[in-house]
């Protein structure tokens, strides 16, 4: 085959970060993501260019999935952030904003050798320390810390449009659901259960609820007839993943030749009826199928007092198998072994809005629960669902590492202060170890710390001022339109995470972020303080986000050429 | 490719769009709605609409804000069937509040927190001033005049009750106050949370002396008609028919909305709309003789959920494509197979002595003909909820295929009556039959008629709006004072709070939100705008007059709170006259001196309106995916990533 168009040569960009187009795009991406950050972040309408469905959101996973660029560098950043989000759910925007700030800072001071990797090591080492000033151990004896943690996640997404009471209700539900997924007394390796969430549109958020077990929607109004006379004794369950519609769906494109007198449909149906007969003989009282069940079978089963559930869908199959202990039957041609049957303790009917659902309760311990999420419109409901999944994930991560970091920007400012202090102490040996001059080293440190602080400052979207106190290096906010000029004059304020309060008795000095101040060693807030932090971030997610941000930024800074095939 | 537009902060385009969208539906607000034609220039089709929801439904809204609005209204309509106009109006009014605030340089965070507080104030008003329906109107209906004063008294009483001193003052004469209130029927006041349990015990003690009184549905329904008197009369009839058909038990009357269905008949004058127990279905002329044959007997019925035809197969069944029939003889043609099937089905029906088949899907012409020959009536397109109702009442078990039928699937005791001969109205001759199961079935059909076919949808919407209003009132057992009184109370409270804020500038309040007073004032103005628009729609006021009337009342209200009841009179005076003008048939002395609103409908509409404003206000950019960089990069307002 001959070519009609001559192949055009590849385009090679030398030092892509010096290219204005690349810089504009990086700045735009930063502006886009930075404006979404935090509980007062701005939302974005995401839609395609032909007037398709509009999503209103501020979550990084949705935004970054939608963002595709012609710039490979941007796609590189995007994919590494998305990868982080897929593993940890939280701190996606933090990672993105930090990464883009680091790139900007490094570009501005024009350092050839960057010290970011070394500083990342200092950060992680500090965060892993017992006496780290921005880490709080989680207390599993009370649900308070877990609720605070989940509330911080829930209220960080303004597109949910929740009132205070609603946010608290959802956070509590998330914690309750999480606790239900932790099995209590199973020996050996513990496997966490599942949370299945069901959305109900148009109803008040406070109607949202969590139930142990599974709630499965009933499609057919006539199914209820048998379900109404439910017993509360354990029921034997069979679970089919194969279709029982009575057609030859397994045939594919093949051809079968049959005698004209043969009625294939009724023969298949007879076979299915035989199968059902055996199932009934085995004492099954709840018959569940992922796909369609032939109406004749349904009628037959119901007449024998069996509750029938069809079309439950693939997503519910795994939770159903976990809950009942049944093995999904994928073929219709063998007898069903006894061990394939499962049990449920109780079946009842529950109604939510226009949805009628069958509530299956496990007979043993199963760690499966269903979260019914209600919200007033579709946009807010879909954001709420995303947020609840995030919360679930964040809570799970606490089992791996039972600590949390202070939220509200306090971790960032505290870390920055710590690094400034630490690197001043050991400037000579570190500079020589890294093979750079002391000035270069300090410039690098300054850039890194400024990037961290700029993430804390990104929490403001209404022109507020960021300050730090010179004792604990926590993050404070002075609203743009506040009556007072200085923090010293205003009393009763508290820092971003809520652990430190200002007042007449407290002797504290404040300074604006990004202003010259003498470096100091930030003191940890006394551990036995009665005050609990109001905002907590996931430890595991944040520490990973920090690593992803720094490593991605380093990678981007190291790119010398971009070679693009334009064909 | 991806582009994004950054919206100018001070002139928020999204909020302007929201306000403009809301503007379209101003004329469909309040009891005096005006019809609108929506015309599609391309196809030349047009639609006659009169409610906010139908207007939006007929507009093709592709922009982001439009989609958000439509989505919200759609869900609200699905759940409540009423209040969409109020929702959209307030979304528009409050988006102008947000715009105004932005122009004054107030930050988004402050606008949102102050507006949420404003909304809380309004909800507090709803909590304080809602009226329990218990024993409502049981004895009041004879003299409506007393009631109107009564309500005025009640509202004013409550106004003075505010504050904790009022509570202590009231404690002494609680019984007296309650006695006067309860003198003509046990109207139980649901009080704010400050009035704790002790109070309700008081009331219950007094109530025990009497037989528990159920709310008078007639009384409530009249006051919830909101201008749709005819529709509400039908709703009342439907609820009465339901209670008549079941043995009255002593439990509280409810209105089972799931058992109500509507049937629209074009061509008949509107006065012929009526309510009948059972289910009304239209028949073709061929089946009329069968219906005549079966009328007034107790029939055996089978129910089929699906189509009744040879080719029908259930949902999810795929016909195999790769089957080859190998044969030496000539194979049976498919038509003869159909014949076999038909024979089998008819034999089965005859054996089971079935008289009536109700099918949720379609019935093939051949089946209808064959059944008619054997005096079996096969009716298609029967609502699934009707099938469910009939299954419960007759004992029939719905099946998917006729071949599934067996003895235990057959229900008994169903009656078919010729309801009406419609031959003179329709082009082709047809009759309407009534399928009923006699006692203990709540199934009710409301027949809506109009000479103008385009109006039928509006009439049906009005009926359902009224039906849901009554249903919700009985379910929630609480109502709000209507005709603008609740809004007036909210305005009053918002303004009072705003004044309190600006007069005592405490330091803490200033730090918390220095702009609360401004925002609350503007929110109150939004509600005044709402009230005056409703008044303008009556045709009796100009915008200026309406606005003046509202603010005069507010001033008077600030001086002596009792005046508020007068406002509702002023409001209703106009409405009554308006109604008398638009419907000269109705006698103007109908007892409609006071009006109620539904509690949850109002609260949800307000909440959803503020949701819309908050969502749009917080949005600062649009991210558009799939942009072709070469062609669309030229557009100035796009920035490409």
Q: What is the pLDDT of residues B259-292, one digit of tens each?
A: 888 988 888 888 888 998 888 888 877 888 888 8
DSSP notation for A238-286: EEE-S-BSSS-GGGTT--EEE-TT--HHHHHHHHHHHHHHHHHHTTEEE
Q: Pick from B515, B260, B519: which is nearest to A481 by CA?
A: B515
Asked whether the beta carbons of residue B619 and residue A353 sit closer than 8 angstroms, the reply is no
Is residue A366 helix, strand or coil?
A: coil
| Predicted pLDDT of residue B638 | 73
Burial tier of B184 (Cβ tally within 10 Å: 0-12, 13-18, 19+): middle
* CA distance to partner chain A, nearest, from residue B221 (Å): 24
Task: Using alpha carbons, list the distances in angstroms from residue A46 to A147, B18, B549.
Answer: 31, 18, 45
Q: Which residue matches tokens 């704790």?
A: B196
Alpha-carbon gap: A323 to the closest alpha carbon of chain B (Å): 27
Nearest chain B residue to A62 by CA: give it. B623
Tell me the residue ranges of DSSP E strands in A31-152.
43-48, 55-57, 135-137
Does residue A440 sit in helix, strand or coil? helix
Q: Please say if the pLDDT value at position B323 is more than 80.
A: no
- pLDDT confidence of residue A529: 61
B584 and A CB contact within 8 Å = no
Query: CA-nearest residue of chain A to B258?
Result: A354
Residue B428 confidence (pLDDT): 67
Residue-level length of chain A = 567
If phi over 0 gives left and psi between -120 and 50 gives alpha, with beta otherwise, what is residue B16?
A: alpha
Q: Between helices A20-34 and A92-109, what is the axis angle to 10°?
A: 140
Average pLDDT over residues B390-405: 87
Task: Summarize pLDDT for B51-100 with one digit per residue, the tens.
Answer: 889 999 888 888 889 999 999 999 999 999 999 999 999 999 999 999 99
Please give the share of chain B, as a percent, with pLDDT higher than 70. Answer: 72
Q: pLDDT tens for residues B551-589?
A: 888 887 777 655 555 555 555 544 444 333 332 222 333
Q: Strand B478-481 vs strand B596-598: parallel, antiparallel, or unpaired?
A: antiparallel
Q: Report the pLDDT value the prediction gives residue A567, as an integer from 0 to 100.
A: 77
Contact B356, B413 (CB under 8 A): no
The distance of B408 to chain A (nearest Cα, Å) reads: 10
Structure tokens at B563: 């005046």
Tell me the C-alpha distance between B564 and A545, whole Å: 60
Q: Please tell me the distance from the alpha carbon of residue A134 to that of residue B200, in angstroms, as a whole number.
A: 51
Pick the closest to residue A375 from A388, A359, A392, A363 (CA basis). A388
d(CA A217, CA A197): 12
Pair A234, A324: CB distance under 8 Å: no
Per residue in B367-381, pLDDT tens? 998 899 999 999 988
Burial status of residue A376 (CB atoms within 10 A of its CB: 0-12, 13-18, 19 or more): buried
Query: In sequence order, what are the residues at sequence separation of 6 or more whose Cβ sits closer than 8 angstroms to the Cβ of residue B579?
Result: B31, B227, B229, B586, B588
Cα A232 to Cα A209, A238, A360, A363, A430: the distances in Å are: 22, 18, 11, 11, 70
In sign, the C-alpha dihedral spanning A273, A276, A280, A281 is positive
Tell me which residue of A158, A94, A48 sits closest to B623, measured CA to CA: A48
pLDDT score, position B425? 64
Q: In B, which residues are within 8 Å of A483 by CB distance?
A: 507, 510-511, 514
Q: What pLDDT, in 10s, does the model give residues B329-363?
A: 555 566 678 888 899 999 999 999 999 999 999 99
Between residues A499 and B181, the one the model is more confident about: A499
**Angle (CA) B145 B149 B151, round 5°:** 115
DSSP assignment of A108-121 equals HHT-SS--HHHHHH
Residue B634 confidence (pLDDT): 52
Tokens of B106: 């107030």
Are residues A202 and B75, on separate chains, in Cβ contact within 8 Å? yes
A66: which chain B residues are within 8 Å (Cβ-Cβ)? Answer: 2, 623, 625
Q: Are A205 and A285 in contact (CB under 8 A)?
A: no
Cα–Cα dist A416/B198, whole Å = 58
Handedness of CA A68, A72, A74, A78 (dihedral sign): positive
Other CB atoms within 10 A of residue A560 CB = 9
**CB B187 within 8 Å of CB B135:** yes
Residue A472's nearest CA partner among A523, A412, A420 is A523
The beta-carbon neighbor of B618 closest among A43, A251, A255 is: A43
What Å distances lie between residue B591 and A231, B131, B586, CA to CA?
A: 52, 20, 11
Which stretch of DSSP H or E encloses residue B36?
A: strand B36-39
B136 SS3 class = coil
Report pLDDT for A539: 94
- How far does the CA of residue B285 sit from the closest CA of chain A (Å)? 32
The residue with greater pLDDT, B190 or B386, is B386
Q: What percent of chain B is modeled with pLDDT above 90?
A: 23
Q: In the predicted model, what is the mean pLDDT of residues B601-610?
A: 93
User: String of b and e for B325-343 (b: at least 16 CB within 10 Å)?
Assistant: eeeeeeeeeeeeeeeebbe
Q: In this structure, are residues A499 and A531 in contact, taking their beta carbons and an 8 Å threshold?
A: yes
Q: Are the C-beta atoms of residues B17 and B65 closer than 8 Å to each other?
A: yes
Q: What is the mean pLDDT of residues B151-156?
A: 39
Stated as kind and residue range, the H or E segment containing B132 is strand B131-132
Residue B245 CA to residue B99 CA, distance in Å, equals 55
What is the complex's ipTM, to 2 decimals?
A: 0.91
Nearest-Cα residue of chain B relative to residue A200? B75
The residues that bridge with A404 in the sheet, in sequence order, are A136, A538
* Spatial distance between the Cα atoms of A490 and A473, rounded to a whole number of angstroms: 18
Residues in chain B: 641
Question: From the list A29, A260, A481, which residue is nearest B325 (CB)?
Answer: A260
Residues A149, A138 contacting (CB under 8 angstroms): yes
Q: Are B444 and B246 in contact (CB under 8 A)?
A: no
**Chain A contact for B315, CB < 8 A?**
yes
Average pLDDT, chain B: 76
Phi, psi at B421, each rounded to 5°: -95, 120
The low-confidence residues of chain A, meaning pLDDT below 70, are 1-3, 111-113, 222-232, 249-252, 480-492, 504-506, 526-530
- CB contact set of A324 (below 8 Å; sequence gap of 6+): A237, A239, A342, A343, A344, A360, A362
Would strands B430-436 and B411-421 be described as parallel, antiparallel, or unpaired?
antiparallel
Give the distance from residue B458's alpha carbon to the nearest chain A alpha carbon, in angstroms.
23
Between positions 68 and 97 of B, the ones with CB within 8 A of A are 68, 71-72, 75-76, 78-79
Give B134's pLDDT tier (boundaries 50, 70, 90).
Answer: confident
Listing DSSP states for B228-248 in one string gives -HHHHHHHHHHHHHHHHHSPP
- Chain B contact probe: residue of A60, A69, A161 with most B CBs at under 10 A: A161
CB-CB neighbours of B96 under 10 Å: 19
Ramachandran bin of B226, using left for φ above 0, alpha for ψ from -120 to 50, beta for the remaining angles: left
């Amino acid at each position: 085959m001959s070519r009609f168009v001559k192949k055009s040569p590849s385009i090679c960009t030398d030092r892509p970060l010096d290219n204005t187009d690349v810089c504009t795009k990086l700045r735009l991406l930063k502006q886009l993501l930075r404006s979404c950050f935090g509980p007062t972040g701005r939302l974005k309408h995401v839609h395609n260019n032909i007037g398709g469905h509009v999503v209103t959101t501020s979550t990084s996973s949705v935004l970054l999935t939608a963002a595709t660029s012609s710039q490979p560098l941007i796609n590189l950043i995007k994919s590494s952030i998305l990868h982080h989000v897929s593993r940890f759910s939280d701190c996606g925007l933090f990672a993105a904003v930090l990464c883009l700030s680091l790139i900007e800072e490094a570009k501005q001071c024009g350092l050839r050798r960057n010290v970011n990797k070394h500083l990342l090591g200092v950060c992680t080492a500090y965060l892993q320390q017992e006496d780290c000033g921005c880490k709080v151990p989680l207390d599993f004896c009370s649900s308070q810390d877990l609720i605070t943690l989940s509330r911080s996640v829930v209220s960080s997404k303004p597109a949910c449009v929740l009132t205070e009471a609603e946010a608290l209700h959802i956070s509590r539900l998330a914690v309750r659901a999480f606790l239900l997924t932790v099995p209590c007394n199973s020996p050996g390796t513990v496997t966490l259960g599942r949370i299945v969430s069901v959305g109900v549109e148009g109803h008040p958020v406070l109607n949202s609820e969590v139930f142990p077990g599974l709630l499965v929607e009933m499609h057919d109004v006539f199914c209820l007839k048998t379900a109404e006379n439910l017993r509360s004794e354990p029921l034997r369950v069979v679970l089919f993943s194969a279709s029982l519609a009575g057609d030859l769906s397994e045939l594919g494109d093949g051809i079968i030749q049959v005698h004209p007198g043969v009625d294939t449909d009724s023969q298949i149906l007879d076979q299915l009826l035989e199968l059902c007969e055996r199932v009934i003989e085995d004492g099954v009282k709840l018959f569940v199928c992922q796909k369609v069940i032939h109406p004749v079978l349904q009628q037959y089963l119901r007449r024998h007092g069996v509750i029938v559930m069809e079309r439950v869908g693939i997503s519910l199959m795994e939770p159903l198998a976990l809950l009942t202990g049944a093995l999904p039957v994928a073929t219709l041609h063998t007898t069903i072994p006894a061990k394939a049957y499962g049990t449920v303790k109780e079946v009842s009917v529950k109604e939510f809005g226009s949805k009628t659902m069958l509530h299956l309760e496990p007979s043993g311990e199963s760690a499966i629960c269903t979260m019914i999420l209600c919200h007033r419109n579709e946009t807010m409901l879909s954001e709420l669902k995303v947020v609840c999944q995030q919360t679930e994930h964040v809570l799970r991560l606490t089992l791996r590492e039972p600590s949390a970091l202070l939220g509200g920007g306090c971790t960032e400012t505290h870390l920055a202060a710590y690094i400034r202090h630490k690197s001043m102490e050991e400037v000579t040996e570190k500079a020589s170890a890294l093979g750079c001059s002391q000035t270069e080293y300090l410039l690098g440190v300054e850039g890194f710390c400024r990037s961290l602080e700029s993430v804390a400052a990104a929490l403001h979207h209404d022109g507020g001022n960021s300050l730090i106190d010179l004792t604990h290096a926590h993050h404070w906010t002075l609203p743009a339109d506040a009556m007072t000029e200085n923090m010293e004059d205003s009393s009763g304020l508290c820092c971003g995470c809520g652990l430190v309060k200002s007042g007449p008795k407290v002797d504290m000095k404040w300074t604006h972020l990004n202003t010259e101040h003498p470096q100091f060693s930030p003191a940890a807030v006394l551990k036995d303080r009665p005050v609990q932090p109001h905002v907590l971030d996931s430890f595991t997610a944040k520490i990973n986000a920090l690593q992803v941000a720094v490593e991605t930024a380093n990678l981007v800074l190291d790119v010398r050429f971009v070679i693009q095939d334009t064909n | 490719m991806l582009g994004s537009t950054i919206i100018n902060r001070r002139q928020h385009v999204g909020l302007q769009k929201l306000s403009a969208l809301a503007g379209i539906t101003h004329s469909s607000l309040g009891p005096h709605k005006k019809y609108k034609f929506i015309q599609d220039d391309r196809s030349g089709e047009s639609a006659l609409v009169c409610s906010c929801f139908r207007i939006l439904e007929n507009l093709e809204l592709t922009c982001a804000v439009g989609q958000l609005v439509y989505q919200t209204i759609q869900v609200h309509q699905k759940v409540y069937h009423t209040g969409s106009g109020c929702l959209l109006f307030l979304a528009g009014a409050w988006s102008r509040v947000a715009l105004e605030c932005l122009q004054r340089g107030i930050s988004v965070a402050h606008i949102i927190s102050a507006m949420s507080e404003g909304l809380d104030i309004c909800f507090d008003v709803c909590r304080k001033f809602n009226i329990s329906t218990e024993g409502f109107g049981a004895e009041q209906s004879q003299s409506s005049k007393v009631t109107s004063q009564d309500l005025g008294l009640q509202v004013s009483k409550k106004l003075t009750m505010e504050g904790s001193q009022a509570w202590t003052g009231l404690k002494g004469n609680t019984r007296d106050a309650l006695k006067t209130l309860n003198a003509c029927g046990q109207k139980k006041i649901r009080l704010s949370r400050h009035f704790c349990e002790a109070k309700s015990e008081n009331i219950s003690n007094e109530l025990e002396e009497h037989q528990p009184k159920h709310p008078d549905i007639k009384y409530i329904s009249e006051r919830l008609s909101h201008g749709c008197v005819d529709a509400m009369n039908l709703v009342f009839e439907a609820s009465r028919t339901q209670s008549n058909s079941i043995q009255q038990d002593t439990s509280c009357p409810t209105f089972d909305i799931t058992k109500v269905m509507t049937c629209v008949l074009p061509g008949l004058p509107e006065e012929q709309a009526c309510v009948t127990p059972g289910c009304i279905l239209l028949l073709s002329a061929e089946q009329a003789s069968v219906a005549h044959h079966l009328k007034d007997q107790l029939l055996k019925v089978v129910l089929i959920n699906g189509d009744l035809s040879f080719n029908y197969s259930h949902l999810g069944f795929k016909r195999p494509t790769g089957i080859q029939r190998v044969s030496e003889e000539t194979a049976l043609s498919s038509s003869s197979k159909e014949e076999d099937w038909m024979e089998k089905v008819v034999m089965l029906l005859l054996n089971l002595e079935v008289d009536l088949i109700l099918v949720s899907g379609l019935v093939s012409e051949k089946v209808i003909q064959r059944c008619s020959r054997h005096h079996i009536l096969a009716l298609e397109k029967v609502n699934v909820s009707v099938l469910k109702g009939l299954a419960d009442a007759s004992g029939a078990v719905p099946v998917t295929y006729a071949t599934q039928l067996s003895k235990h699937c057959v229900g008994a005791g169903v009656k078919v009556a010729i309801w009406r001969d419609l031959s003179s109205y329709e082009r082709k001759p047809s009759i309407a039959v009534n399928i009923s199961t006699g006692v203990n079935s709540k199934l009710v059909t409301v027949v809506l008629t109009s000479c103008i076919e385009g109006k039928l949808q509006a009439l049906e919407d009005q009926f359902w709006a009224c039906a849901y209003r009554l249903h919700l009132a009985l379910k929630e057992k609480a109502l709000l004072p209507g005709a603008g009184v609740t809004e007036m109370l909210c305005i009053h409270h918002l303004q009072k709070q705003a004044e309190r804020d600006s007069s005592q500038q405490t330091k803490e309040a200033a730090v918390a939100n220095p702009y609360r007073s401004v925002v609350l004032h503007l929110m109150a103005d939004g509600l005044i705008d709402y009230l005056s628009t409703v008044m303008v729609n009556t045709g009796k006021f100009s915008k200026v007059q309406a606005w003046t009337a509202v603010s005069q009342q507010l001033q008077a209200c600030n001086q002596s709170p009792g005046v508020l009841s007068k406002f509702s009179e002023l409001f209703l005076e106009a409405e009554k006259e308006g109604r008398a003008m638009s419907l000269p048939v109705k006698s103007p002395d109908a007892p409609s001196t006071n009006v109620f609103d539904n509690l949850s409908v109002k609260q949800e509409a307000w909440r959803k309106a503020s949701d819309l404003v908050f969502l749009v206000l917080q949005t600062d950019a649009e991210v558009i995916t799939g942009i072709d960089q070469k062609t669309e990069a030229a557009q100035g307002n796009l920035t490409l990533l």
